[in-house]
């Protein structure tokens, strides 16, 4: 596991007019963002970044209040570099407990500005320093890095979740839903111990509220019921609209994240971390049969 500051350093150079924005286009962190955006139907682009830097428009994903936040972003960046050894150790501790026989050094972490709070794809982790919760508390950024790094390890076992983003049929929609529950559950669960140890909140942003299920046992049954309703609507043909499907599975309720996390939390309570590991490595077909039927 290594850290690459090239994206964020190039970004600052662009802001200071010491280089052209085109330099960012060849950066591996930026390429990872664009691959993710294209696969998931987001139109994030280099122009969005240019507009935010020029104060033309900062409404694009992850760029809100960019100019207002610049000094806070630089402070967070400085903290990351200064304490790099300590926080990388934290990431390894919390992620490696879930996996066996993984090439841990193959993952590269890119602090970025723009797009999602975090993505983990093709052994690259991109974490947005222009995230309000991370700017308020750097430990939220570390939690996000743990989550997304777990995704890269998970993908080394099961393949990329983006391969499931072919939602041209109802069967494929169901396949994405099922795979995303296992995938996101691993990510959310991986950061749980870090968050509990640091007393991070489970209220506030949607990402923080993913952890409400830890103290709300009834929520688990509600999420499972919500999943079964969505699955039945897909398989019966009552739900065919792609946007409605994505909203119910991945939107405000964050069904995939929270149901997946609730499953791994319950496994851990019953069978401990070895049971969690078994579920991490389980094929999605077996995972669904065991925990979602």
List the chain pLDDT tens, one digit each, 293 residues.
899 999 999 999 999 999 999 999 999 999 999 999 999 989 999 999 999 999 999 999 999 999 999 999 999 999 999 999 999 999 999 999 999 888 888 999 999 999 999 999 999 999 999 999 999 999 999 999 999 999 999 999 999 999 999 899 999 999 999 999 999 999 999 999 999 999 999 999 999 999 988 778 788 889 999 999 999 999 999 999 999 999 999 988 899 999 999 999 999 999 999 999 999 999 999 999 999 98
Boundary residue ending a domain (132, 158, 184) = 158
| Cβ burial, residue 161 (10 Å; 0-12/13-18/19+) | buried
What is the model's pLDDT at position 214? 79
258 and 150 assigned to the same domain: no
Q: How many CB atoms lie within 10 A of CB 276?
A: 24
What is the model's pLDDT at position 219? 85
Can you tell me the distance from the alpha carbon of 274 to that of 99, in angstroms, rounded to the nearest whole number? 10
Overall pTM surpassing 0.85 (yes/no): yes
What is the model's pLDDT at position 144? 98
Supply 290's token pair. Answer: 């065991």
What is the model's pLDDT at position 102? 84
132 and 17 assigned to the same domain: yes
6 and 150 assigned to the same domain: yes
Can you tell me the distance from the alpha carbon of 235 to that of 237, in angstroms, rounded to the nearest whole number? 5
125 and 219 assigned to the same domain: no
Boundary residue ending a domain (158, 180, 213) = 158
**DSSP 8-state assignment for residue 164:** G
Q: What's the chain's length in residues?
A: 293
How many domains would you assign to the chain?
A: 2
**DSSP 8-state assignment for residue 253:** T
Boundary residue ending a domain (130, 158, 186) = 158
141 and 42 assigned to the same domain: yes
Supply 148's token pair. Answer: 């997304």
CA distances from 202 to 90, 151, 167 (A): 20, 21, 32
**H or E stretch including 121?**
strand 118-121
What is the model's pLDDT at position 218? 83
151 and 10 assigned to the same domain: yes
12 and 55 assigned to the same domain: yes
69 and 34 assigned to the same domain: yes
Can you give the residue range of the structural domain that contains 82? 2-158
Angle at 127 between CA 130 and CA 51, to 5 degrees: 45
25 and 147 assigned to the same domain: yes
188 and 67 assigned to the same domain: no
Supply 268's token pair. Answer: 């851990």
């Amino acid at each position: 596991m290594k850290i690459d500051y090239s994206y964020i350093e190039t970004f600052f150079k662009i802001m200071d007019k010491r280089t052209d924005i085109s330099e960012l286009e060849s950066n591996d962190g930026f390429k990872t963002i664009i691959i993710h955006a294209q696969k998931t139907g987001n139109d994030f682009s280099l122009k969005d970044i240019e507009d935010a830097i020029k104060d033309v428009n900062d409404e694009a994903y992850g760029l809100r209040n960019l100019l207002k936040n610049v000094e806070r972003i630089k402070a967070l960046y400085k903290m990351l570099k200064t304490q790099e050894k300590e926080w990388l150790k934290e990431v390894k501790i919390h992620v490696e407990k879930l996996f066996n026989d993984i090439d841990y050094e193959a993952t590269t972490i890119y602090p970025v500005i723009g797009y999602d709070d975090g993505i983990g794809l093709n052994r690259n982790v991109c974490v947005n320093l222009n995230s309000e919760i991370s700017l308020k508390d750097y430990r939220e950024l570390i939690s996000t890095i743990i989550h997304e790094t777990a995704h890269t390890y998970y993908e080394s076992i099961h393949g990329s979740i983006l391969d499931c983003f072919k939602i041209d049929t109802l069967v494929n929609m169901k396949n994405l839903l099922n795979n995303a529950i296992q995938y996101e559950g691993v990510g959310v669960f991986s950061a749980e111990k870090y968050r509990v140890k640091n007393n991070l909140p489970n209220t506030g942003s949607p990402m923080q509220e993913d952890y409400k299920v830890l103290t709300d046992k009834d929520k688990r049954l509600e999420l499972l019921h919500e999943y079964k309703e969505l699955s039945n609507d897909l398989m019966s043909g009552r739900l065919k609209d792609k946007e409605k499907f994505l909203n119910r599975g991945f939107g405000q309720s964050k069904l995939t994240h929270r149901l997946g996390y609730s499953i791994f939390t319950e496994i851990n309570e019953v069978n401990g971390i070895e049971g969690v590991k078994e579920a991490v490595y389980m094929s999605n077909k077996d995972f669904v049969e065991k925990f979602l039927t």
